[in-house]
Amino acid sequence: MVQVTGSDVYLLVKELESHGKLAAEKFLRCLTSASDWFYAFIESDVRKGTGVTTQLGEDVRRTAILDAAAELIAERGYHAVRVADIAAVVGTSTGAVHYYFPGKSEVLTEALHHAVDRAFDRQSEELKKIDNAHQRLLKLIDMQLPRVGAVRDEWSIWMQFWAEATIRPELRPIHNTYYARWHETVVRIVRRGQRQGVFRADVDPEMMAHRLTALTDGVAIQVLTGAPNMTVSAMKEILVQFVQDELIARR
């Protein structure tokens, strides 16, 4: 195995800058869990205030902190996570975490935003590859299934966001914005299907989005809380059948 040193990474990042910020940023994103030697080289450039690496170094460290916080929230619960825990996962100090986020509340709240935004971005990338509206909606459903891994973690975080928004009014506008994004995604798919002739023309897209959202949330909660006979497979069957019953023209 080739041994890569911190200086190797630093020089590669500097070379990538000549190809634009995006190339360097993509490379750095792959290394957000690197240990302190990586950050030492990035931060040396940040302190000098030179080049694109200044902003990239800031972005990489901030993203690593948010990734770690989101992971811990999903695993342990919002209120059980400490700043020290986040710092330990990133491989940095609590002071470095506080540099980007003044307190625990700020870092955890931003981690919730970060996780939800990441899920929406992933969905958007996948959905735009599919032209047929019926298949697109089935793909959206499939991407909501809380299988073990990233999606289950995102559901855990989202459910905790619900709980926090219940008692923290300042989170409700953000919570409602995320719901509006999901709602609009479903509405657009239904309207697309009606234009393509694959969905019934007499269905109200807005009401369909409300009903599908309510059903998705309801069965997901049952899966995540271990309700008897409610599995990921059962959730998928319920949602797919709902689409078939409500949107596909009866012959």
pLDDT (0 to 100) of residue 69: 87
Domain boundaries, the chain: 6-101, 112-247
Residue 53 clears pLDDT 50, i.e. is over it: no
Hey, what amino acid is at 32? T
Hey, what amino acid is at 44? S
Range among 25-39, 53-67, 108-122, 130-144 with highest mean pLDDT value: 130-144
pLDDT (0 to 100) of residue 195: 97
Phi, psi of 120 (to 5 degrees): -65, -40
pLDDT band at 251 (very low <50, low <70, confident <90, very high): low
Percent of all residues in the chain with a pLDDT value above 90, rounded to a whole number: 40
SS3 for the chain is CCCCCHHHHHHHHHHHHCCCHHHHHHHHHCCCCCCHHHHHHHHHHHHHCCCCHHHHHHHHHHHHHHHHHHHHHHHHCHHHCCHHHHHHHHCCCHHHHHHHCCCHHHHHHHHHHHHHHHHHHHHHHHHCCCCCHHHHHHHHHHHHCCCCCHHHHHHHHHHHHHHHHHHCHHHHHHHHHHHHHHHHHHHHHHHHHHHHCCCCCCCCHHHHHHHHHHHHHHHHHHHHCCCCCCCHHHHHHHHHHHHHHHHCCCC
Tens digits of residue pLDDT in 75-131: 998 888 899 999 999 888 899 888 888 888 888 788 878 888 888 888 889 999 999
Measure the CA–CA gap between 146 and 20, rounded to whole angstroms: 37
Token pair belonging to 175: 């919570």
Phi, psi of 24 (to 5 degrees): -65, -40
Tens digits of residue pLDDT in 2-24: 444 333 444 454 445 455 544 44
pLDDT (0 to 100) of residue 24: 47
Q: What is the pTM of this model?
A: 0.72
Provide the mean pLDDT of the chain. Answer: 81
Q: What is the mean pLDDT of residues 162-183?
A: 89
Measure the CA–CA gap between 179 and 173, rounded to whole angstroms: 10
Determine contact, residues 11/27, Cβ cutoff 8 Å: no
pLDDT (0 to 100) of residue 111: 82
> Domain 112-247: what homologous superfamily?
Tetracycline Repressor, domain 2 (1.10.357.10)
